[in-house]
């Protein structure tokens, strides 16, 4: 039983972490909280559904096309909607992301109806249960999710530290004015952050859709990832990992040993407590605290 | 804002046309999160009424069906009820979440107009002693469903068995499963786990893990379909292969075909379309002819509501006033032509039906089709399931 | 007070006031109901405008605050049989307390932590409300009797309309005085630039906290009224989308304007009916009742985006541009 709990915690951690890195990237470069992240996850999953039903039945091809589509959506979203707001009120930018979220929710139902879908089965993908250490079980695609999250994080760590665009991203996040004066194209950097963010969200959405099903409850994952992002620190990738782990641990243990209903609300209680005692999270940049 | 008022006024005046017809109002969760469970029922009703109007020709009064979307929200339902009553609705049909009931009932009471719950869970007021204005043709009613399911568990597993229960954290599901627990214990079963899962859960593995860890021999779940099927699939992913019994919502038939699991038992009060009865053929052809977006095998509830409405109007005859309609409904018998195990029967005391019939289905792997595991068994409806 | 309204608007204001007064006598039940909903929403919109439009903070907690107000009324009525005036005070107080509790940790910080904090508040309130309903046996919701003020029971559509009209005007005046006074000015400076505000001697965090507490109190008060108006309280009525609708009211109305809040409330409340009317006219597209909500959401999202990008001053900004074009030579 303990092994199964470990597997569950690992799976939930991976899911939250993959979703959180999108929040972190955008927040880090532009201090904008992308409230439409959950909806972008949903859109990505529907992208896979659309590709599968309209273009090709080949899984690898479908996923690749859907992933590219999501990157395109990220860049386009930034260019058309967010770019005009760069530099001005972060408030307006966040409000715009809320509006984008609403728009996506409406469009998704308009185009594809509210019926749950099963893209995994449409692609003929098998999702067998694999044994772990003999007693525990994990489905193939949950395992893939864990692997993908690990891959994404390792890549991001290396990229941000050594990649030329990664350095630009960090620079833009630390001091946008200075960065642009040094010749860094802020708009390109922001668009890039959005692209990566949408890409990771879509991948998460696609895998969840293949692993279980594609329906509107996916958007809640975006909201429930907030405590994870905040506990870790909104601008720290390492924080996102640790935060996700913490929240996943709490949720799974609550369900197993206390009361499943609490698993919905306790993460948010943890969020509030964090705000009281250490608002910038475990690994975030220390913010200036006004004395009340 | 003034423009919208003008628009609304012009809309209203345009709709009160001048030919003899009975207005029936519908407030349903056509869109919004719960829609997939209710929208097909409303569509079924709409198609039935269309067909009925066409068939009647000029020899009888037509039905004008006014359909409003309430998205499962109480405020919208309240506004819908007001609007429908304003437009002369003689019956209000509700196919939505139970949170929309109170405002609809309040409005209907004010105007003394009956409310027919079709596709949405039957409120306890339709059971004996029934409230004058409230009627229900919906198939499910959590407590009797639970009793039937637990009785079935006793048949296949005996009473010396460990039972796991699953519900969603919404009142009707919790109520049904609480009753299942009580009844199972009364029969001497060992209820090892009762998992109440939050409505917005995305990952069902931890909940299923908890259920599995108590090692039940059989699991029964009564909740919205998505909760039921996710619990089931998570249990299977954990390699728990025993019997899983769950309620046959609209989606059940298609999902049984998708999942193809021999130990997934569906308990329901409606016949399934694989039986291809004449009535099923009728529904399928109506849906296909109309080019409906919904799968015909999800329209049974709406069809039954339509049959009920038609029977009411047939008995009332010409000049259907709301008083006549209400008094007719107090004593009504509707032959549903095989969609259920028995007729819809209203008496002054019982606005649900005299007898509730259940059937149990499963997927037969060797024949690759759905089969009936237990044919119609029934319960006489008294005040409660106890 | 009439003198406070600038000359340009006196005529229209008087006209609007009179129109508002006679409205129930010329309108249908349904229209009165919609208008009453608009008045009720205005209260919450005014509350949010003070917070977002003046003090520049985002709150996603409006649904939670309205729920808290409604549940306060329900609980006080069912458990303690309190009279309406006491229940409403209780609702307002609950709102203020929630504002303090969830504002305190987040408003010490620069940035948008309040958004996250209010999100947490939403889920916590929803959980508590649900547990109360289940544990106390109100599984399908809590019925609340219509209130009686000054002897008579307020029940009919007309009565509610006038009561809420009076309350809305009252809250509007209070909010306007607040906004025009030193508190409001401090808020505006804080919104523009917190560093500059601090340099000017404004206690930034206290100012923001005050905004949130006042805003929350007004919103929960509106929630209490909502409980009486509907006669019914159930937790499912309060979703995140409700919070977003209030944010939309503030955006559409125009930031930093209380009149904008009211216009925004009117627009957002009536908008779905407009869309419905439009879609019905285009009924050649087939049975659209099922996709109405999706069309609503999409249109809503596009509307908000357009206002945010092109006209941050909202409807008022659009009207202003029009009137300038009309009145200038």
Instruction: Please answer yes or no on whether B207 and A260 come within 8 Å at the CB atom.
Output: yes
pLDDT at A112: 87
Q: Domains of chain B by range and CATH?
A: 20-140+275-356 (3.40.50.2300), 142-271+358-380 (3.40.50.2300)
Inter-residue contact C222 to C94 (CB < 8 Å): no
DSSP per residue, B114-170: -EEE-SSPPPGGGSSSPPTTEEE--S--HHHHHHHHHHHHHHHH-SSSEEEEEEESS
- Cα dihedral angle (B108, B114, B119, B123), rounded to 10 degrees? 70
CA-nearest residue to A13 within chain B is: B203
Mean of pLDDT over chain B: 87
Nearest-Cα distance to chain C for A118, in Å, is: 21
B213 → closest Cβ in A1, A131, A251:
A1
Bond before B129 cis per omega within 30 degrees: yes
Helix/strand/coil percent split, chain A, to 5: 75, 5, 20
Cα B178 to chain centroid distance, Å, stands at: 20
C15 — contact with chain B (CB < 8 Å)?
Answer: no
Nearest to C312 by CA among C251, C246, C259, C248: C251
Query: Which of C61, C112, C193, C207 would you mutate first to test chain A, the one with the most A CBs within 10 A?
Result: C112
Mean of pLDDT over chain C: 84
Whether C1 shows a pLDDT value over 60: the answer reads no
Nearest-Cα distance to chain C for A143, in Å, is: 30
Instruction: Please answer yes or no on whether A113 and B201 come within 8 Å at the CB atom.
Output: no
Inter-residue contact B232 to B266 (CB < 8 Å): no
CB atoms inside a 10 Å sphere around CB A144: 16
Domain total for chain C? 1
Nearest-Cα distance to chain B for C40, in Å, is: 12
pLDDT at C289: 54
The chain A residues in contact with chain B (CB within 8 A) are 1, 4-5, 8, 11-12, 15, 109, 113-116, 118, 121, 129, 131, 137-139, 142, 208, 212-213, 215-218, 220-221, 224, 251-252, 255-256, 260-261, 263-264
Query: Which of C309, C310, C312, C313 would you mutate first to test chain A, the one with the most A CBs within 10 A?
Result: C309
Query: Residue A242 belongs to what H/E stretch?
Result: helix A237-257
Number of H helices, E strands in chain A: 12, 2
pLDDT at A24: 93
In whole angstroms, give the CA distance from residue B50 to residue B63: 8
Inter-residue contact B111 to B325 (CB < 8 Å): no
Nearest to C52 by CA among C169, C191, C216: C191
**A289 by DSSP, 3-state: which?**
strand
DSSP per residue, B276-294: --HHHHHHHHHHHHHT-SS
A292 → closest Cβ in C104, C113, C120:
C104
Nearest to B377 by CA among B357, B363, B360: B357
A106 → closest Cβ in C120, C251, C295:
C295
pLDDT band at C299 (very low <50, low <70, confident <90, very high): confident
Query: What distances in angstroms separate CA B314 from CA B47, B89, B119, B309, B318, one per listed residue?
Result: 18, 17, 22, 9, 9
Residues facing residue A198 across a β-bridge = none
Inter-residue contact B38 to B69 (CB < 8 Å): no
Instruction: Please answer yes or no on whether B11 and C30 come within 8 Å at the CB atom.
Output: no
Query: What does the block give as tokens for C275?
Result: 């869309």
Query: What does the block give as tokens for C258?
Result: 């209380």
Q: Is B201 exposed, middle or buried (0-12, 13-18, 19+ CB in 10 A)?
A: buried
B257 — contact with chain A (CB < 8 Å)?
Answer: no
CB atoms inside a 10 Å sphere around CB C135: 8
C322 — contact with chain B (CB < 8 Å)?
Answer: no
Query: Residue A246 belongs to what H/E stretch?
Result: helix A237-257
Residues facing residue B24 across a β-bridge = B65, B91
Nearest-Cα distance to chain A for B130, in Å, is: 34
Mention every residue, 6+ apart, whose C-beta is less than 8 A from residue B229.
B246, B251, B255, B259
B207 — contact with chain A (CB < 8 Å)?
Answer: yes
Residue-level pLDDT, tens digit, chain B, 386 residues = 444 444 444 444 444 443 468 899 999 988 766 777 888 899 999 999 999 888 876 656 788 899 888 887 777 888 889 889 988 899 999 998 887 888 888 888 888 999 999 988 888 888 888 889 999 999 988 889 999 999 999 999 998 999 999 999 887 888 889 999 999 999 999 999 999 999 888 889 999 999 999 999 999 999 988 899 999 999 999 999 999 999 998 889 989 999 999 999 999 999 999 888 999 999 999 999 888 878 888 899 999 999 999 999 888 887 788 888 999 999 999 999 989 999 999 999 999 988 999 999 999 999 989 999 999 999 988 866 65
**Domain hosting residue C61, numbered range:** 2-327
Per-10-residue mean pLDDT, chain A, length 292: 90 96 90 90 93 84 90 89 74 86 89 84 85 88 94 92 85 81 84 93 94 88 90 90 94 92 90 87 76 47
CA-nearest residue to A223 within chain C is: C119
Cβ-Cβ contacts under 8 Å, A135 against chain B: none
Query: What distances in angstroms separate CA B171 from CA B30, B61, B222, C234, one per listed residue?
Result: 21, 40, 11, 11
User: What is the percent of chain C with per-residue pLDDT over 70, rounded to a whole number?
Assistant: 91
Tell me what the mean pLDDT of segment C251-265 comes to. 87
C119 → closest Cβ in A107, A110, A223:
A223
DSSP letter for C61, please. Answer: -
CA-nearest residue to B5 within chain C is: C31
Nearest to B329 by CA among B110, B128, B58, B133: B133
Tell me what the mean pLDDT of segment C267-293 comes to. 72
Query: What does the block give as tokens for B65?
Result: 């069906």
C5-58 pLDDT, tens digit each: 566 666 777 777 888 888 878 887 778 888 999 999 999 999 999 998 888 888
Inter-residue contact B139 to B268 (CB < 8 Å): yes
- Which of A 209-228 lie inside 8 A of C, CB atoms? 223, 226-227
Give the ranges where chain C is alpha helix by DSSP (H).
7-26, 29-48, 62-80, 84-107, 113-135, 157-180, 182-192, 194-199, 204-230, 240-253, 258-281, 292-310, 314-327
Nearest to C116 by CA among A128, A259, A271: A271
- Which of A 82-101 lie inside 8 A of C, CB atoms? 84-85, 89-92, 94-96, 98-101
Nearest-Cα distance to chain C for A271, in Å, is: 7
In whole angstroms, give the CA distance from residue A129 to residue A116: 22
Inter-residue contact A216 to B32 (CB < 8 Å): no
Whether C140 shows a pLDDT value over 80: the answer reads no
C192 — contact with chain A (CB < 8 Å)?
Answer: no
Higher-scoring residue by pLDDT: C138, C210: C210
pTM, two decimal places? 0.87
Inter-residue contact B194 to B175 (CB < 8 Å): no
- Cα dihedral angle (A15, A16, A17, A23), rounded to 10 degrees? 130
The position carrying tokens 């185009």 is A111
Handedness of CA C262, C263, C268, C270 (dihedral sign): positive
B86 → closest Cβ in C29, C139, C234:
C29
C143-184 pLDDT, tens digit each: 787 787 766 777 777 888 888 999 999 999 999 999 888 888
In whole angstroms, give the CA distance from residue C135 to residue A190: 49
Nearest-Cα distance to chain C for B123, in Å, is: 9
User: What is the percent of chain B with per-residue pLDDT over 90, rounded to a whole number?
Assistant: 52
In whole angstroms, give the CA distance from residue C135 to residue C132: 5
Nearest-Cα distance to chain A for B71, in Å, is: 12
Query: What does the block give as tokens for C85?
Result: 């005036």
In whole angstroms, give the CA distance from residue C320 to residue C300: 22
Query: What distances in angstroms separate CA B291 from CA A73, B305, C10, C106, one per listed residue?
Result: 33, 21, 56, 53
pLDDT at B241: 94
Q: How many CB pairs under 8 A join A and C?
A: 148
Cβ-Cβ contacts under 8 Å, B215 against chain A: none
Query: What distances in angstroms separate CA A134 from CA A1, A4, A137, A147, B386, one per listed residue?
Result: 11, 10, 8, 20, 44
Inter-residue contact B9 to C28 (CB < 8 Å): yes
Assign residue C182 the CATH number of its domain: 1.10.3470
* Residues constituting chain C: 329
Nearest-Cα distance to chain A for C1, in Å, is: 34
The position carrying tokens 């692993």 is A211
Query: Which of B12, B49, B66, B75 would you mutate first to test chain C, the one with the most C CBs within 10 A?
Result: B75
Query: Which of B25, B69, B86 would you mutate first to test chain C, the one with the most C CBs within 10 A?
Result: B69
Nearest to B12 by CA among B115, B101, B82: B82
Q: Is B384 exposed, middle or buried (0-12, 13-18, 19+ CB in 10 A)?
A: exposed
B198 → closest Cβ in A139, A213, A263:
A263
pLDDT at B9: 47
For residues C11-41, b (16+ Cβ closer than 10 Å) or e, as one string? Answer: eeeeeeeeebeebbeebbebbbbbbbbbbbb
Cβ-Cβ contacts under 8 Å, B169 against chain A: 261
The interface pTM score, or ipTM, of the predicted complex is: 0.90
Q: Please state the φ and ψ torsions of residue B140, each to the nearest 5 degrees.
A: -95, 155
Query: What does the block give as tokens for B207?
Result: 């909940």
Inter-residue contact A268 to A247 (CB < 8 Å): no
pLDDT at C212: 92
Instruction: Please answer yes or no on whether A81 and C309 come within 8 Å at the CB atom.
Output: yes
Whether C142 shows a pLDDT value over 50: the answer reads yes
């Amino acid at each position: 039983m303990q092994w199964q709990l470990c597997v569950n915690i690992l799976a939930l951690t991976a899911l939250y972490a993959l979703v959180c890195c999108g929040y972190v990237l955008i927040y880090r470069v532009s201090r904008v909280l992308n409230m439409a992240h959950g909806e972008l996850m949903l859109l990505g999953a529907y992208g896979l559904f659309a590709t599968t039903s309209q273009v090709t039945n080949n899984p690898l091809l479908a996923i690749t096309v859907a992933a590219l589509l999501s990157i395109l959506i990220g860049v386009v979203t930034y260019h058309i909607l967010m770019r005009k707001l760069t530099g001005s009120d972060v408030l307006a930018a966040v409000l715009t992301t809320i509006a984008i979220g609403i728009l996506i929710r409406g469009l998704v139902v308009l185009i594809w109806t509210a019926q749950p879908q099963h893209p995994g089965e449409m692609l003929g993908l098998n999702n067998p249960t694999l044994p772990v250490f003999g007693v525990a079980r994990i489905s193939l695609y949950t395992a893939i999710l864990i692997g993908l999250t690990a891959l994404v994080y390792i890549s991001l760590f290396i990229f941000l530290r050594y990649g030329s665009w990664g350095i630009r991203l960090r620079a833009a996040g630390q001091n946008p004015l200075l960065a642009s004066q040094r010749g860094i194209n802020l708009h390109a950097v922001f668009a890039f952050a959005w692209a990566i963010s949408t890409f990771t969200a879509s991948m998460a959405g696609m895998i969840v859709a293949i692993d279980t099903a594609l329906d509107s409850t996916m958007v809640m994952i975006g909201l429930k990832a907030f405590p994870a992002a905040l506990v870790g620190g909104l601008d720290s990738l390492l924080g996102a990992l640790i935060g996700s782990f913490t929240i996943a641990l709490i949720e799974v243990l609550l369900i197993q040993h206390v009361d499943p209903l609490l698993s919905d609300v306790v993460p948010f209680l943890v969020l509030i407590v964090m705000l009281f005692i250490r608002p910038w999270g475990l690994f975030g940049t220390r913010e200036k605290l006004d004395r009340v | 804002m003034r423009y919208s008022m003008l628009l609304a006024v012009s809309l209203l005046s345009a709709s009160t046309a001048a030919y003899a017809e009975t207005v029936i109002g519908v407030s349903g969760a056509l869109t919004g999160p719960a829609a997939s469970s209710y929208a097909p029922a409303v569509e079924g009703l709409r198609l039935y009424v269309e067909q009925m109007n066409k068939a009647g020709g000029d020899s009888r009064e037509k039905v004008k069906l006014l359909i409003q979307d309430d998205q499962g929200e109480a405020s919208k339902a309240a506004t819908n009820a007001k609007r429908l009553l304003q437009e002369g609705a003689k019956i209000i049909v509700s196919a939505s979440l139970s949170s929309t009931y109170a405002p609809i009932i309040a409005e209907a009471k004010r105007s003394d107009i009956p409310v027919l719950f079709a596709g949405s869970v039957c409120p306890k007021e339709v059971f004996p002693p029934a409230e004058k204005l409230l009627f229900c043709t919906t198939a499910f009613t959590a407590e009797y469903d639970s009793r039937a399911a637990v009785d079935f568990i006793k048949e296949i597993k005996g009473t010396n068995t460990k039972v796991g229960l699953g519900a969603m954290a919404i009142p009707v599901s919790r109520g049904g499963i609480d009753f299942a627990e009580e009844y199972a214990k009364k029969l001497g079963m060992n209820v090892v786990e009762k998992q109440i899962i939050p409505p917005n859960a995305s990952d069902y593995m931890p909940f299923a893990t908890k259920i599995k860890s108590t090692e039940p021999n059989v699991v029964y779940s009564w909740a919205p379909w998505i909760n039921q099927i996710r619990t089931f699939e998570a249990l299977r992913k954990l390699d728990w292969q025993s019997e899983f019994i769950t309620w046959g919502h609209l989606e059940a038939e298609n999902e049984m075909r998708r999942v193809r699991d021999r130990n997934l038992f569906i308990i329901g009060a409606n016949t399934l379309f694989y039986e291809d009865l004449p009535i099923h053929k009728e529904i399928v052809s109506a849906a296909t002819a109309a080019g409906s977006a919904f799968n015909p095998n999800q329209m049974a509830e709406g069809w039954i509501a339509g049959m009920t409405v038609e029977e009411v109007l047939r008995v009332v005859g010409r000049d259907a006033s709301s008083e006549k309609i209400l008094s007719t409904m107090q004593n009504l018998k509707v032959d549903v032509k095989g969609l259920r195990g028995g007729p819809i029967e209203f008496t002054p005391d019982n606005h649900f039906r005299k007898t509730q019939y259940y059937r149990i289905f499963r997927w037969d792997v060797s024949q690759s089709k759905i089969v009936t595991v237990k044919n119609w068994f029934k319960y006489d409806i008294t005040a409660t399931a106890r | 007070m009439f003198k406070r309204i600038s000359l340009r608007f006196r005529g229209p204001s008087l006209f609007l006031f009179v129109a508002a007064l006679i409205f129930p006598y010329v309108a249908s039940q349904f229209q009165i109901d919609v208008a009453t909903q608009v008045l009720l929403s205005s209260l919450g919109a005014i509350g949010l405008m003070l917070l977002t439009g003046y003090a520049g903070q985002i709150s996603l907690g409006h649904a939670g605050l309205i729920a808290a107000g409604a549940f306060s009324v329900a609980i006080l009525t069912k458990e303690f049989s309190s009279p309406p005036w006491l229940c409403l005070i209780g609702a307002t107080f609950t709102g203020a307390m929630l504002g303090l509790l969830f504002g305190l940790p987040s408003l010490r910080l620069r940035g948008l932590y309040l958004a996250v904090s209010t999100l947490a508040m939403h889920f916590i309130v929803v959980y508590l409300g649900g547990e109360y309903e289940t544990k106390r046996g109100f599984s399908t919701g809590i019925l609340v009797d219509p209130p009686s003020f000054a002897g008579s029971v307020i029940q009919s559509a007309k009565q509610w309309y006038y009561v809420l009209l009076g309350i809305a005007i009252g809250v509007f005046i209070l909010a306007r005085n607040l906004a025009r006074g030193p508190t409001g000015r401090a808020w505006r400076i804080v919104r523009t630039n917190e560093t500059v505000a601090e340099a000017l001697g404004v206690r930034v965090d206290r100012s923001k906290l005050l905004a949130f507490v006042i805003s929350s109190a007004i919103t929960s008060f509106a929630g209490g009224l909502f409980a009486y108006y509907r006669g019914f309280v159930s937790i499912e009525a309060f979703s995140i989308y409700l919070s977003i609708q209030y944010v939309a009211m503030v955006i559409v109305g125009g930031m930093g304007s209380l009149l904008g809040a009211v216009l925004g409330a009117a627009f957002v409340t009536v908008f779905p009916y407009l869309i419905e009317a439009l879609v019905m006219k285009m009924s050649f597209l087939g049975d659209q009742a099922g996709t109405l909500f999706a069309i609503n959401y999409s249109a809503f999202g596009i509307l908000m985006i357009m206002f945010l990008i092109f006209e941050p001053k909202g409807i008022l900004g659009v009207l202003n541009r029009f009137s300038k074009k009309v009145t200038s030579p």
